[in-house]
Structure 1
Amino acid sequence: MSVEMQHLAINYIALTDSGEHQAHYREALIGRSGAVANLVEQLHLAYNGKPAKGYAAFETEKSPKVALALADWQSGNSDYLGFSRATTDALVQELSQHQLPETGYLLLAHYRYLASEFLLICLLGSKDHFELTEQLELATSRHLDISRMQLAARLDLTEYAVNREQGHYISFIRGRAGRKVADFFLDFLGCAEGTDAKANSQLVLASVEEYLGAAEFAPEEKTAARRQVFDYCEERAKAGQEVVLAELSAVVDPEQENGFLHYCAEQQLAVAEQFPVEVKELKKLVKFNGTGGGLSLSFDEKLLGERVSYDLKTDTLVIKGTPPNLRDQLQRFLQGYSAFEQQGD
């Protein structure tokens, strides 16, 4: 891992007895150390691991507080500590306006990863851990709950500096709490949602399938190409990077590196030169799955036509060879049912 920490600021947002939000500021930045670098790396990995993200850009019609604070810091008119305090103030104000009870530790991590510079802003809760001393006394310690990161956004500072017109230099976690919380975090940042990673992924799915058909790939070649496309996109997403169309083209068809690229242009497919993707959506390249009516099925794409066959007219799926654990459950159930039936006779 090549995460290089630059700055880390932490402030705490609490609720007063009267129900008002109040910020508690740390008087200095967190000093650099191996432990702090490890924390920033964990934040980076936890954020990258979140599957559902949206993409946005600063919006002039919304509150410009975070954007102005960012500009002051980058121009040298304020330091990173001042930027963190201004950002915390903006969050407190937004929480109060939306009347949300959210509290926690606001972390602002500035770091470099590979060739890009990032700013990760996240509001984390905490959890208490219990331990016993050598004298068997009970002690508690408070830990940041990184695994439950939900309110978080990341600004690609490199993209923001050189390619901000694309409008997707800010990513944010959609989370499970619904649109209200997602909208609140966008309002806090002063940005509006733009690029749709899910729509991009669906376009990639359709475009790749079209190309594989037009180029008359053999069935086994299609399976290999789909897996290569998924692996490439997954690797880029996990690294927090966008998919590059020219690179994707070489992955789709290594023998004709620009074949997919030229096909997209000739067919006027609206595939951008660089775009974010959603890994969850791209799994359809390599796996079939579905749930409904008390039935849940999932199998690799390469098994279709071999161990799995589907009749479109009768909507019938035939599976040859079941997983050992499923086979064991079925045999036990049927044997038990037969024995019960014989006893009844």
Structure 2
Amino acid sequence: MADGRGEAAEAPEVVLENEIVNVIVHSLNRVDGGFIVDDRKKVLDIGVTVQRLIDQLAKIYAGKTGKSHGRFEDDVDNYPVAKFLEAYYKTGASDFVTTTFQMAETLKKSAQGTASTGGHVFFAHFKRVADQTHYLIVAILNDELGAALNKSKEVVDALHLDIKGFRLAGRVNLTSWADGADKYLSFIKGRGQDKVSEFFKLFLGCNNSVAAVVETQKLGTALEAFAQSKEMTEEQREDFLRNAYTVCKRYADKDTPFELEAFANELWPDNPEELSSSFEGSGLNISDGFIPDKRSLRSLVKFSGGTKNWRIIFDRAALSNDEIEFNVESETLVIKKLPEELLARLRVEVSQDGEED
């Protein structure tokens, strides 16, 4: 018989974003003359706190702007991280503790002579539940002094990991790497942080040389997708893409590398994070640091195409002001408002064809 209190509510089912395979932390401590590695001898137990930490780390990394993308260097003797990971992930010849210690020692060598202060180096191998993709994240986290209340309600100092503030991190898409993809490795470059992040890039052995044409084409795709997601009118879309063209053309003219944060601040100043998040979530892995390709930029304001017998090129504005009409079903273009000179020549041509018949 009901007692009026109702049935106890069931505990909500916890849906994991990431399935942790292995996680460990080694510390890179600065001492006189360089660094030493204070290593952990076994992997961390995966409890609620560790799960939350890795989920936060993965989410924050994915949303970070200023990342460079690339692949491992072929020279595994001077850039051995790829060799260590191959023994762990591809062949199973090495365990996670050994692999991450080798990587920490490599990081120590790369950090020598830099201004790095070191920190706690987290290594996490996890599988994203949504698509079963395996990743390895390496991130240097530092302690941050905060405040907490003790049992007596007194405010006391409390050290905690600065999860949101990390500046040095890299991620390997292990699944893509094993499948032979062209780009699967990224690291946080950060605006104006080349000198700071260079040793981390060298540690990873990341070859981030990019083809400007390919990156510019991906940039155009991301901009088109963003305009569509905002449900812009044709006029708004035209203005948006033309402004993007103007900004990128200036980068190209001045040999200024593309950087997402600066680009978003200029192109979408009212909410730059919205544009940045759209790019980061696109899956296109657009790298910072490339000089936009001028020819490829034309797609933002022009359409072009042709066969061996004809070629056409026109501004996007021609579609919006009804000079050119595209019929999706018949896959045809109707060109209106032809210039008088061209009309006159066409009339003569048609007239001459008629006389010959």
* Superposed pair shares fold, TM > 0.5: yes
In structure 2, the residue matched to 1:319 is none
Are residue 103 (structure 1) and residue 118 (structure 2) matched? yes
In structure 2, the residue matched to 1:238 is 281
Measured in 2, the distance between the counterparts of 1:267 and 1:124 equals 54
Measured in 1, the distance between the counterparts of 2:93 and 2:178 equals 18
1:142-221 map, 5 Å: 142-164=159-181, 166=182, 168-176=183-191, 178-195=193-210, 202-204=216-218, 206=220, 220-221=233-234
The offset of 1:146, in angstroms, is 1.5
Measured in 2, the distance between the counterparts of 1:208 and 1:67 equals 30
The offset of 1:194, in angstroms, is 3.0
Contact 1:9–1:81 under 8 Å retained in 2:
yes
CA deviation vs aligned residue, 1:148-204 (integer Å, no higher than 9, x gap): 12111100011101133x2x21011112452122221111112211336x9756435
Distance 1:234 1:225, change over 3 A: farther
In structure 2, the residue matched to 1:76 is 92
Structure 1: unaligned runs, 5 residues or longer: 211-218, 245-259, 269-345
Measured in 2, the distance between the counterparts of 1:128 and 1:267 equals 64
Are residue 126 (structure 1) and residue 143 (structure 2) matched? yes
Measured in 2, the distance between the counterparts of 1:267 and 1:126 equals 60
Measured in 1, the distance between the counterparts of 2:44 and 2:223 equals 49
Q: Which SS does the other structure have where 1:12 is aligned?
A: strand
The offset of 1:58, in angstroms, is 1.0
Measured in 2, the distance between the counterparts of 1:133 and 1:226 equals 56
The offset of 1:135, in angstroms, is 2.5
The offset of 1:5, in angstroms, is 1.6
Contact 1:108–1:120 under 8 Å retained in 2:
yes
Contact 2:141–2:163 under 8 Å retained in 1:
yes
Contact 2:65–2:280 under 8 Å retained in 1:
no
Larger radius of gyration: 2
**Deviates most, 38-47 or 135-144:** 135-144
Structure 2: unaligned runs, 5 residues or longer: 1-15, 225-231, 241-267, 269-273, 287-298, 308-357
Contact 1:64–1:190 under 8 Å retained in 2:
yes
Are residue 35 (structure 1) and residue 49 (structure 2) matched? yes
**Aligned residue type for 1:77:** A
In structure 2, the residue matched to 1:87 is 103
- Structure 1 residue ranges (4+ consecutive) displaced by more than 6 angstroms after TM superposition: 207-210, 224-227, 230-233
Greater share of helix residues, 1 or 2?
A: 1
In structure 2, the residue matched to 1:15 is 30
Q: Which SS does the other structure have where 1:99 is aligned?
A: coil
Q: Which SS does the other structure have where 1:43 is aligned?
A: helix
Q: Which SS does the other structure have where 1:21 is aligned?
A: strand
Distance 1:233 1:138, change over 3 A: closer
The offset of 1:49, in angstroms, is 1.6
Identity of aligned residues (%): 23
Distance 1:7 1:236, change over 3 A: farther
Contact 1:109–1:121 under 8 Å retained in 2:
yes
Measured in 2, the distance between the counterparts of 1:90 and 1:61 equals 14
**Aligned residue type for 2:163:** I
CA deviation vs aligned residue, 1:220-263 (integer Å, no higher than 9, x gap): 24647999xx9999557237x3379xxxxxxxxxxxxxxx9xx9
Contact 1:95–1:102 under 8 Å retained in 2:
no
Measured in 2, the distance between the counterparts of 1:35 and 1:193 equals 34
Measured in 1, the distance between the counterparts of 2:185 and 2:147 equals 38
Alignment TM-score, normalising by the size of structure 2: 0.57
Q: Which SS does the other structure have where 1:147 is aligned?
A: coil
Distance 1:61 1:77, change over 3 A: closer
The offset of 1:57, in angstroms, is 1.0
Residue from 65, 69, 80 that aligns with 1:65:
80
Distance 1:207 1:119, change over 3 A: closer
Contact 2:27–2:39 under 8 Å retained in 1:
yes
Measured in 2, the distance between the counterparts of 1:31 and 1:265 equals 58
The offset of 1:207, in angstroms, is 6.8
Contact 2:81–2:205 under 8 Å retained in 1:
yes
Measured in 1, the distance between the counterparts of 2:40 and 2:213 equals 41
Measured in 1, the distance between the counterparts of 2:115 and 2:285 equals 36
CA deviation vs aligned residue, 1:245-286 (integer Å, no higher than 9, x gap): xxxxxxxxxxxxxxx9xx999579xxxxxxxxxxxxxxxxxx
CA deviation vs aligned residue, 1:270-310 (integer Å, no higher than 9, x gap): xxxxxxxxxxxxxxxxxxxxxxxxxxxxxxxxxxxxxxxxx
Contact 2:222–2:279 under 8 Å retained in 1:
no
Measured in 1, the distance between the counterparts of 2:20 and 2:306 equals 44
Distance 1:37 1:207, change over 3 A: closer
Measured in 2, the distance between the counterparts of 1:25 and 1:108 equals 12
Backbone CA RMSD of aligned residues: 3.7
